[in-house]
Every structure is written in structure tokens, then in C-alpha cells.
Structure 1
Amino acid sequence: MCSAKSDLTARARIRDAALVRFGVDGVAGASVRAIAADAGVSPALVVHHFGSKEGLRQACDEHVLAAMDSGDDLRGEALAEVLAAATPVRRYLARALLDGADAATALFDRIVERTERWLAEGETAGWVRPTADSRARAVVYVSWQLAPLLLGEQVGRLLGGDPAEASTATRGARAGLEMLTGGLFTDDHWLRTFTELDRGGRR
């Protein structure tokens, strides 16, 4: 009989194997048998823990959301460790969104909703500037974050590495944060122009 600790360890090992396998083959292309082999367990144990491949996918989604939260308040070496460990998460997320299933749509919606709350909390705390359209800000922010993964081959070609890997992801994130923190344009010409276009379109 397995102990509770070893049982939980097996569950995490299966989930991690599924993240990698789903990231490479997609959910439709990955089999429970292959995931079990990768994790070094029996297919029956996968079913025992997750019920089905769909249940395993849902567990992977929850792990992705938890991984996104884990880096919010980390600094220095701790954040570097999270980023280095997140490569399978980034690959899974890219493949899930590219596959375009209903589950991917639900995952994207949850990421946007969570990001909208996070940015709103930042406004309250004073480290995020206010906006007139919090939903649009969250959608665009998430889209910017995911774009390097979805355009992985092209982005990697120009940045010299896989965007799912920590070093390239960190390089891209730093460039993005530089723009988000310090700004890109030296005046508000384009902001005023598109603000007027947006107002006109809403009339």
C-alpha cells in the first residue's frame, strides 16, 4: 500500500509528465499510456488520480494558473528558479492555445480574469497606473505576454533561442517590462490619436 506522501508524489510526477507530453504532442495527440510511461507509472494509476485524460488536462490548467501566481511577489534568485522551472508550463500553454479547443478558450479567459484582478490590486497598491478600460488592458497585457510563445519559431529565430526556455523568456520579458515601466514613445501623440478613434467608435 502506498503512503499518502508517495501517492501525492506520484500524482505530481504524472502531472509534470503530462505537461511535457501535452506541450509536445498536444492533448489530442498524447495518450494516457505514453504519459504513464513518461512518469514511470501504470496507466491505471493515471486514471486513479485523474479519472481521464480530460481530468489530467484540467489538472495541468490548474498548475499553469498556480505557476503564474507563484512569481508575483518573488525577487532575485527565487524568481529565477521559478522562471527556470517554468519551461514545460510555457510550452504547454503555447500548445494549448494553438490547438484552439474550447478548453483553451476557457483557460485564456481565466488568465485574463486573473490578470485583470491582479492589475486592479496593483492600482489600489499604487504600483500600477490607472486605466479607463481595465478589461482591455488585461486582454492586451496577456496577449503581449503570450505572443512570444505563440510566435515561437519566429521570435526564437530573431532572439537566438526558444522563447519557452528561461534565458530567452527572460530577455523578452525584460524588454517588455522596460517598455511598460518607462514607456516607449516620448510624447502622447499616438495615445491621443487612438483615444479619439476609440471614442468615435463607441458613439
Structure 2
Amino acid sequence: MRSDNDADLTARARIRNAALELFGAEGVGRVSLRAVAARAGVSHALVLHHFGTKEGLRKECDAYVIALVRGGPGMEALDDPLDDTAGLGALLEAGAGVRRYLARAFLDGTPEAAALFDELVETTGRWLEQGVREGWAQPGEDPRARAAIYVTWLLAPLAFGEHLSRALGVTDLHDTDATLRYSRAAVELFTRGVFTDERALEAWDAVREQRRSR
């Protein structure tokens, strides 16, 4: 469905937005350029004029989403990353279409998605280091590994969306309310932890030391 704001967009932007919606919902392989044109309210010829092929349109979508994630409001843009309810709500509301498209991009394994993952790890590492300095994040033994695991956890719902939707009893995991539910559970896990003592961590450390001593 086209939004009211689409009327103010250029034809190229309307085509891109229509492609983002359809590619995210159905996958690039299942969507024709004619379907994109119909969704955008333009002719098939105009889609070809702007993008040439479906691959060209897909690359445009990849570039747009990556630029949005890199340059748009992120956690670092919040006045306080742990205490800005309005800012966090806006991020969740704005991200549904991007989350759907990213889910497909990561599952399809595009080079752009791989580059974005690497950049997210770097950005997250810096963000966590900032948290350690400012006192709102715990220090870790292996900052690089922690940042990579953190990003993987955040992106896991994109890869396991169908199964997570079933487990939560929702039809659209990318709906804001559903996203708020599972992301709140993740934040609780990060904040309060799971284990009440360090026996599990000590067991992992013991195995590591045994392997090092061989």
C-alpha cells in the first residue's frame, strides 16, 4: 500500500519504495518489474528508464537501505542511549520496511549486506567502548567478539523471523508492537543477564585453559 507521503516523492523514489516493500515481502526473485511499476503507480517503461533491470533496482534498494542505516538516526543519535523513550519509539516506528528488506538481503547473502554487517560490528564495538568509559556498559574480556555477538543477536530475528513469529504467536514480526516485544526481551537479557553466578563462565574458561595448555 502506498503511503500518503508517496505523492510528494519523485517517480524514482516511489519506484524504489515500492521495490523495497515488495522485495522485502516476497523476495527479489518473485517480484517482477511490472509488479513494482503497478505498486508505484508508474509505467513499466519508466522503471526500465530509471533502473534498466531488476538487478539495477535491487542495487538501488541495497544502497538506499545501507545509507539509511549508516546515516540515519541510530542509538548514538539518542540524547541518552538508555533513557530516550521518544527517540527509541521513533526508531522502531520508522524501521519496519527496512527490517523486512534487510531480512531478505541478509538471507540472500548480498555483498552489500555483508559489508553492512561488518560495519555494524565496528560501530557497535565503538558504542560499547563508549558505554564502558561512561559507566553504563560492563567491560568485556574480548571487545571484538562481544560486538560481533551483540550484532548477531540483534539480527537473528531477521534470519529466524518465521520461527520467531510462530513462537510469539504473531503474524508480522516486523510490526512495531511485535518488534517491541522481542527487542524488550533481548534488552532485559542484556541488562539483567540469565545466570545468578559465574559457574558457567568459569566452566568455559576452564575448557579454554585446558586447550591452551596442550
CA distance in 1, matches of 2:196, 2:31: 49
Matches within 5 A, 1:24-39: 24-39=25-40
CA distance in 1, matches of 2:26, 2:146: 32
Higher mean C-alpha deviation, range 191-200 or range 132-141? 191-200
1:124 corresponds to which letter in structure 2? R
- 1:83 aligns with 92
In the alignment, does 2:98 pair up with 1:93? no
TM-score by length of 1: 0.80
Unaligned runs of 5+ in 1: 1-5
- 2:193 aligns with 183
Q: Answer yes or no: is the 8 Å Cα contact 1:163–1:169 preserved in 2.
A: yes
Q: Answer yes or no: is the 8 Å Cα contact 1:91–1:164 preserved in 2.
A: yes
TM-score by length of 2: 0.76
Q: Answer yes or no: is the 8 Å Cα contact 1:67–1:86 preserved in 2.
A: no
CA distance in 2, matches of 1:10, 1:200: 63
CA distance in 2, matches of 1:68, 1:137: 23
Unaligned runs of 5+ in 2: 1-6
**Which of 45, 51, 56 matches 1:52?**
56
CA distance in 2, matches of 1:76, 1:9: 33
Instruction: From the superposition, tell whether residues 189 and 105 of structure 1 become closer, same or farther in structure 2 (CA, over 3 Å).
Output: same
Q: Percent identical across equivalent pairs? A: 42
- 1:21 aligns with 22
- 1:197 aligns with 207
CA distance in 1, matches of 2:37, 2:90: 27
Instruction: From the superposition, tell whether residues 144 and 69 of structure 1 become closer, same or farther in structure 2 (CA, over 3 Å).
Output: same
Q: What RMSD in Å do the two structures reach over aligned CA positions?
A: 2.9
Instruction: From the superposition, tell whether residues 199 and 8 of structure 1 become closer, same or farther in structure 2 (CA, over 3 Å).
Output: farther
